[in-house]
C-alpha cells in the first residue's frame, strides 16, 4: 500500500494508474469495521481505492472533541494494508489549507438547517471544504460516504450536483456492533457502563420504529416517546430525536408513508456525543 503525504507523491501515484477507476474513502482515522465496509464497497466497484486519514479541524466546533479525537494510525495502516487497499493519503493542514484553516462559504439549500447543522455551527462548511479540496486534489471517479452521517451524505450530494464535481457519490449502510450500537470512532471513549448504556440508542429507536402505527401517532408524539425512553438511560442525555424527510431533511409534521422518512437522534452519552438514524418508510 502506497503512503502518500505530498501533492507530488499523489500526482505520481495517480499517473501510474490514470486509466483505472479510482474509488475514494475519506476518513478521520481511528478506523473500525464501519470504515472498512466502505473500503470494501469501493474495492468492489473500482480498480483502485484510496483512503484518506485526516482529522479536519475546521469541522470541529468543540475544541475538546478535536483534542480528544482518537488517533490509532499504526493499527489503521495495518488494517488497510491487510485489506489490500491501494493507497492511503495522509495530508497535513498545510497541504489541504495553504491559505490557513478557513472554511469556504456554501449554500446547502437548507439541508444544514436542522440536527447537526443546528447543534454544530460551522461543522458542515468545514466538512464540505475539506471534501471538495480532496476531490480537487484526488479527482476520484467515485467516493463513498456512510449513512451513519446521513446529513453529511445529503450535503455532499447537494454540493457535488451544484458545483458539478465529476464524481459519483455512493452511500454505504450503517455498520453496527452486535448489540446494535452504530460503530463510531468515538465509541472507544465510552466508559464500560456508558458503552453498555449506548446500546439503548439503537434498541429504543428500532423498537419504536417496529411498533410505529403512522395512522395513530404523530411525529411529535413518536419523537417525544423515543426521547423519554432514552433519557431514562442513566448515561444518556438526548439532544434531539427528529423525524425528517429523507430528501429535504425537513422535520415532518405528519407521517406520509409514501415519502422516504427517517428518524435521527443525537445524544450525549457520558462525555461522548453519539448520533444514529434509521429509516421509517
Ligand atoms: P469519520 O472517520 O467518522 O469521518 O467517517 C468516515 C466515513 O465513514 C464517513 O463517510 C462516515 O459516515 C463513515 N462511517 C463512520 N461510521 C460508520 C458506520 N458505523 N457505518 C457506516 N459508515 C460509517
Whether residue 177 is contained in a domain is answered as no
- Mean pLDDT over 95-114 rounds to 98
Whether residue 178 is contained in a domain is answered as no
- Mean pLDDT over 192-218 rounds to 98
Q: Output the CA 73–ligand 1 centroid distance in Å.
A: 16
135 and 27 in one domain? yes
Best residue among 24, 31, 33, 38 to mutate for probing ligand 1's pocket (most ligand atoms within 8 Å of CB) is 38
CATH number at residue 260: 3.30.1300.10
Atom of ligand 1 nearest to the CA of 31: 2
Between CA 197 and CA 201 the distance in angstroms is: 8
Pairing of strands 261-269, 236-245: antiparallel
Please count the structural domains in the chain: 2
- Confidence bin at 233 (pLDDT 50/70/90): very high
Q: Output the CA 213–ligand 1 centroid distance in Å.
A: 31
Whether residue 74 is contained in a domain is answered as yes
Residue 197 CB contacts under 8 Å (≥ 6 apart), including other chains: 233, 234, 235, 236, 269
15 and 153 in one domain? yes
Whether residue 179 is contained in a domain is answered as no
260 and 202 in one domain? yes
Per-residue cell: 251: 422535520
pTM of the model: 0.98
133 and 218 in one domain? no
Best residue among 68, 149, 160 to mutate for probing ligand 1's pocket (most ligand atoms within 8 Å of CB) is 149
Q: What is the pLDDT of residue 49?
A: 98
159 and 117 in one domain? yes
> Packing angle between helix 219-231 and helix 192-211, nearest 10 degrees?
150
Atom of ligand 1 nearest to the CA of 152: 12
Atom of ligand 1 nearest to the CA of 29: 2
156 and 24 in one domain? yes
Which residue has its alpha carbon closest to ligand 1 atom 12? Answer: 146
User: What Cα–Cα distance (Å) separates residue 256 from each residue in 181, 215, 243, 245, 246?
Assistant: 28, 9, 11, 10, 12
Question: Which residue is associated with the grid cell 507530488?
Answer: 8
Domain closes at, from 145, 172, 199: 172
203 and 146 in one domain? no
Q: Mapping DSSP to helix (H, G, I), strand (E, B) and coil, where does residue 67 land?
A: helix
137 and 66 in one domain? yes
- Mean pLDDT over 10-34 rounds to 97
Domain closes at, from 118, 148, 172: 172
204 and 157 in one domain? no
- Mean pLDDT over 61-83 rounds to 95
Please work out whether the CB of residue 60 comes within 6 Å of at least one atom of ligand 1: no
165 and 139 in one domain? yes
Q: What is the pLDDT of residue 249?
A: 98
Which residue has its alpha carbon closest to ligand 1 atom 17? Answer: 34
241 and 156 in one domain? no
Instruction: Note the pLDDT tens digit of each residue in 158-189.
Output: 999 999 999 999 999 999 999 999 999 999 99
Q: Which of 15-19, 56-60, 98-102, 221-225 has the lowest mean pLDDT?
A: 15-19
Best residue among 27, 69, 131, 135 to mutate for probing ligand 1's pocket (most ligand atoms within 8 Å of CB) is 27
Instruction: Note the pLDDT tens digit of each residue in 40-52.
Output: 999 999 999 999 9
Whether residue 7 is contained in a domain is answered as yes
Q: What is the pLDDT of residue 29?
A: 98
DSSP 254: S
Please work out whether the CB of residue 27 comes within 6 Å of at least one atom of ligand 1: yes
- Confidence bin at 219 (pLDDT 50/70/90): very high
Please work out whether the CB of residue 149 comes within 6 Å of at least one atom of ligand 1: yes
Whether residue 64 is contained in a domain is answered as yes
Whether residue 180 is contained in a domain is answered as no
Domain closes at, from 111, 140, 172: 172
CATH number at residue 87: 3.40.50.620
Q: What is the pLDDT of residue 180?
A: 98
- Give me the chain's average pLDDT, please: 98
Q: Output the CA 13–ligand 1 centroid distance in Å.
A: 25
Whether residue 106 is contained in a domain is answered as yes
Q: What is the pLDDT of residue 231?
A: 98
154 and 19 in one domain? yes
Q: Which domain holds residue 231?
A: 185-279
- Mean pLDDT over 254-261 rounds to 98
Amino acid at each position: 500500500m502506497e503512503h502518500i503525504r505530498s501533492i507530488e507523491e499523489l500526482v505520481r501515484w495517480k499517473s501510474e494508474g490514470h486509466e483505472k477507476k479510482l474509488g475514494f474513502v475519506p476518513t478521520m482515522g481511528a478506523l473500525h469495521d464501519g470504515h472498512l465496509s466502505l473500503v470494501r464497497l469501493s474495492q468492489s466497484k473500482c480498480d483502485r481505492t484510496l483512503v484518506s486519514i485526516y482529522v479536519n479541524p475546521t469541522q470541529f466546533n468543540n475544541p475538546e472533541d478535536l483534542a480528544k479525537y482518537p488517533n490509532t494510525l499504526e493499527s489503521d495502516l495495518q488494517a488497510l494494508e491487510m485489506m489490500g487497499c491501494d493507497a492511503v493519503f495522509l495530508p497535513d493542514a498545510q497541504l489541504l489549507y495553504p491559505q490557513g484553516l478557513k472554511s469556504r462559504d456554501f449554500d446547502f439549500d437548507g439541508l444544514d438547517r436542522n440536527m447537526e447543522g443546528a447543534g454544530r455551527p460551522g461543522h458542515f462548511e468545514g466538512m464540505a471544504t475539506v471534501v471538495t479540496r480532496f476531490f480537487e486534489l484526488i479527482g476520484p471517479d467515485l467516493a463513498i460516504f456512510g449513512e451513519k452521517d446521513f446529513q453529511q451524505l445529503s450535503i455532499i450530494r447537494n454540493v457535488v450536483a451544484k458545483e458539478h464535481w465529476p464524481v459519483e457519490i455512493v452511500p454505504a449502510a450503517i455498520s453496527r456492533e452486535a448489540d446494535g450500537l452504530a460503530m463510531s470512532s468515538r465509541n472507544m471513549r465510552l466508559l464500560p457502563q456508558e458503552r453498555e448504556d449506548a446500546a439503548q440508542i439503537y434498541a429504543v429507536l428500532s423498537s419504536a420504529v417496529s411498533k410505529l402505527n403512522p395512522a395513530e401517532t404523530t411525529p411529535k408524539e413518536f419523537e417525544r416517546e423515543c426521547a423519554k425512553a432514552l433519557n431514562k438511560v442513566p448515561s444518556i442525555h438526548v439532544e434531539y430525536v427528529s423525524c425528517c424527510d429523507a430528501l429535504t431533511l425537513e422535520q415532518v409534521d405528519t407521517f406520509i408513508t409514501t415519502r422516504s422518512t427517517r428518524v435521527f437522534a443525537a445524544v450525549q452519552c457520558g462525555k461522548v456525543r453519539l448520533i444514529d438514524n434509521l429509516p421509517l418508510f
